Amino acid sequence: MGFKEIAERMKSLRSEREAQTAQARSVDHDESFRIRAKMIGVLLRDARVHAGRTPEHCAALLNVAPEVIEAWEYGDDVPSLPQLELLAYYLDVPVSHFWGNQTLEAQRQDHTRMKEEYMALRDRLIGALLRQAREDHGLTVEAVARASGIAADEIVRYELGEVPLPMHKLTVLANEVRKNPDYFLDSSSRLGELLAIREAWKYFSTMPEDVRRFAANPLNVGFMELAMMLSTMPTERLRRMGESILNITM
């Protein structure tokens, strides 16, 4: 076999390999559409169940038969974008939910797990704070048990975070270790920050209206910062400052 024949043969083999590779990479569009229709159907049913709606409710909204909604949810047919927009509004989800890849049920389960982990962690932290406060005052578990009427072994379990500490018993134990219940509040997590803001708003809303109006005015931030600085000054220094101001105005 001459050089020319070898070159032609190699070219032919290369062309065959390229054709095979291209065929392997080709997309089965029908299968892709089918899978995507199934995904949209799963997400649609997920949103409907999460919102507590029936196929009949959604059908009435869009003026279609309930069987149409069921066909969408099974992926046998697919709604249009305007129909999805109306369903998103009706089911209280962003329209992008229908081309995402996570169900609301999965998110709910994630949130449930996070809440359980949060409560377990908080139980341990509250127990540690209770134990620290008790030891800071030189109190034994037995002494606190006698004063509070709560069994010593029960207090130990609370301090170890093994069981949740009921609020009515927390207030009693807090009193025995000379702490306010606020001492046990969450102050480090995002949830704790939000709760602290709500508490601050509660006190802010009880202030006289003119004080609230003054504090809410961004132009008065400088005055409030000055007041904060004055609040940290030693009493003697404040007294001298007051005397100086009085001398100036006389």
Domain made up of 29-101: CATH architecture: Orthogonal Bundle (1.10)
Q: What is the pLDDT of residues 178-235, one digit of tens each?
A: 998 888 887 666 655 666 666 677 777 888 888 888 888 888 888 888 888 877 888 8
Q: According to CATH, what is the number of the domain 106-184?
A: 1.10.260.40
Which of 39-43, 80-84, 107-111 comes out lowest in average pLDDT?
107-111
Query: Does 130 have pLDDT greater than 90?
Result: yes
Per-residue pLDDT, 24? 47
Contacts (Cβ under 8 Å, ≥6 apart) of 44: 69, 72, 73, 79, 84, 87, 98
Residue 13 near residue 7 (C-beta atoms within 8 A): no
Q: CATH 1.10.260.40 occupies which residues in the chain? A: 29-101, 106-184
Per-residue pLDDT, 11? 63
**Cα separation, 85 vs 176, whole angstroms:** 58
Per-residue pLDDT, 8? 62
Single-letter residue type at 143: A
Could you tell me the pLDDT band of residue 242, with boundaries at 50, 70 and 90?
Answer: confident
Per-residue pLDDT, 59? 95
Per-residue pLDDT, 3? 45
Per-residue pLDDT, 26? 52
pTM, full prediction: 0.43
Per-residue pLDDT, 244? 72
Q: Is 12 exposed, middle or buried (0-12, 13-18, 19+ CB in 10 A)?
A: exposed
Q: What is the pLDDT of residues 44-88, one digit of tens each?
A: 998 999 899 999 999 999 999 999 999 999 999 999 999 999 999
Which one has a higher pLDDT value, 178 or 117?
178
Per-residue pLDDT, 187? 66
What is the percent of the chain with per-residue pLDDT over 90, rounded to a whole number? 38
Length of the chain, in residues: 250
Per-residue 3-state assignment (H helix, E strand, C coil) for the chain = CCHHHHHHHHHHHHHHHHHHHHHHHCCCHHHHHHHHHHHHHHHHHHHHHHCCCCHHHHHHHHCCCHHHHHHHHHCCCCCCHHHHHHHHHHHCCCHHHHHCCCCHHHHHHHHHHHHHHHHHHHHHHHHHHHHHHHHHCCCCHHHHHHHHCCCHHHHHHHHCCCCCCCHHHHHHHHHHCCCCHHHHCCCCCHHHHHHHHHHHHHHHHCCCHHHHHHHHCHHHHHHHHHHHHHHCCCHHHHHHHHHHHHHHHC
Angle at 101 (CA atoms; ends 23, 45), nearest 5 degrees: 115
Mean pLDDT of 141-145: 94
Contacts (Cβ under 8 Å, ≥6 apart) of 108: 50
Mean pLDDT of 83-103: 87
How many other CB atoms sit within 10 Å of the CB of residue 156?
Answer: 14
Per-residue pLDDT, 145? 94
Residue 68 near residue 56 (C-beta atoms within 8 A): no
Could you tell me the pLDDT band of residue 247, with boundaries at 50, 70 and 90?
Answer: confident
Residue 11 near residue 52 (C-beta atoms within 8 A): no
Per-residue pLDDT, 149? 94
